[in-house]
Amino acid sequence: MASNPNTYKNQPDERGHFGDYGGRYVAETLMPLVLDLEREYRAAQADPAFHAEFDDLLEHYVGRPSPLYFAERLTEALGGAQVWFKRDELNHTGAHKINNCIGQILLAMRMGKTRIIAETGAGQHGVATATVCARFGLPCVIYMGAEDVRRQSPNVFRMKLLGAEVVPVTSGRGTLKDAMNEGLRDWVANVHDTFYIIGTAAGPHPYPELVRDFQSVIGKEARAQMQDRIGRLPDLLVAAIGGGSNALGLFHPFLDDPDVKMLGVEAAGHGLDGDEHAASLLGGFPGVLHGNKTYLLQDEDGQITEGHSISAGLDYPGIGPEHAWLKDTGRVEYTAITDEEALEAFQLLCRTEGIIPALEPSHAIAAVAKRAKEMPKDSVILANLCGRGDKDIFTVAERLGVEM
């Protein structure tokens, strides 16, 4: 199905494709479930009561709308464009992940599912899932790579406090990809009672679409807030990309504003030249993983290769299929930031604005720092501060050689 050239906002098509990407590459066991989920999602989209409940929880439980903040001292320090942040790190649970979990748990309950599973990288999605499960009284199992369990230990404890069972995954490098594998395998074995809350805009159709839709509260709010505050739209949107949900959430409502440019920031780890990065768009090519076709880090046989990033949430060898399509259309530009650059940006925000960001959005901040300097002072950059950095202080201390 050809995309309507007049809008970028009507993807995917009825078979879950964003151009060549996306789709439903799943075992037969999962097909009925995935089709059920789509049917339920369409019904929910058309149901005002669903939207009312979603909005109510976002407002009173999550604390939305999140502030739109002008970073005055950071702007001064960079000497170029005005830098604004959409502060989703102020949400309940400290990241944007909860927006999607609220939507998906409401869907799970509509479908009469009694058990929730999820994968998690940095632990923010795991914490958000455990949170909504506690809120609605559903048993919860979170799969987390063993390496991530180690480097994000505060979040592991939080999940347990919230009543979730955390299952460390030791296959592969013990990171997000491996956790997602275990999540999918559990789902295949437990289709009757289990709902899999996927934490990013990837997976078989309709997940990339519904995750984007739930996260687009970010961009809808930001667009209205910008108009209210300064009577104009930003020149450039910037967001970090792991699976791509926070970026899509910010970007999607602006896709048809042609003067708003967009920059997605992948993790370059130790550099794009070697193998030690997690930049699927810049360093990979199309293949199939986790139920969708998208850009992947893989060898010539299609075996998935291990990525690396200092940040657990960006350490994924794939990317949401909508980003793959947006890259091909040229609507969004993609770049990558190294571990070192992200660490510097982390410290820069701490010192100039008194905000401790997560390592994931630190990648966005690093890209903002580069671009702001090249842009005139009356231009506006809006970046997604998609998570706070409490979970990262041990990792940062280790990298800076500080003993806590």
Q: Which residues are at the interface with another protein (CB under 8 A)?
A: 26-27, 29-30, 171-172, 177-178, 181, 184-185, 188, 289-291, 301-304
Residues in CB range of 204: below 8 A, 6 or more apart? 16, 23, 24, 25, 26, 30, 34, 290, 291, 292
The Cα 245–Cα 118 span in angstroms is 15
Closest contact distance (angstroms) between CB of 347 and another protein is 35
Residue closer to another protein (CB basis): 211 or 289: 289
The Cα 145–Cα 171 span in angstroms is 8
Residue 262's φ and ψ, nearest 5 degrees, are -135, 140
Bridge-based pairing of strands 82-86 and 68-70 is antiparallel
Closest contact distance (angstroms) between CB of 45 and another protein is 28
Residue closer to another protein (CB basis): 30 or 166: 30
Closest contact distance (angstroms) between CB of 24 and another protein is 12
For residues 104 and 200, the answer to whether their CB atoms sit within 8 Å is: no
Closest contact distance (angstroms) between CB of 304 and another protein is 5
Residue closer to another protein (CB basis): 134 or 188: 188
**Helical H runs in 30-175?**
31-45, 48-57, 72-78, 97-110, 124-136, 146-151, 153-161
The Cα 342–Cα 251 span in angstroms is 21
Closest contact distance (angstroms) between CB of 248 and another protein is 23
Closest contact distance (angstroms) between CB of 183 and another protein is 10
Residue of 119, 372, 71 lying closest to 242 (CA atoms): 119
Residue closer to another protein (CB basis): 185 or 351: 185
Residue closer to another protein (CB basis): 67 or 302: 302
Query: Within 10 Å of residue 48's Cβ, how many Cβ atoms?
Result: 7
Residue closer to another protein (CB basis): 16 or 387: 16
Residue 165's φ and ψ, nearest 5 degrees, are -95, 125
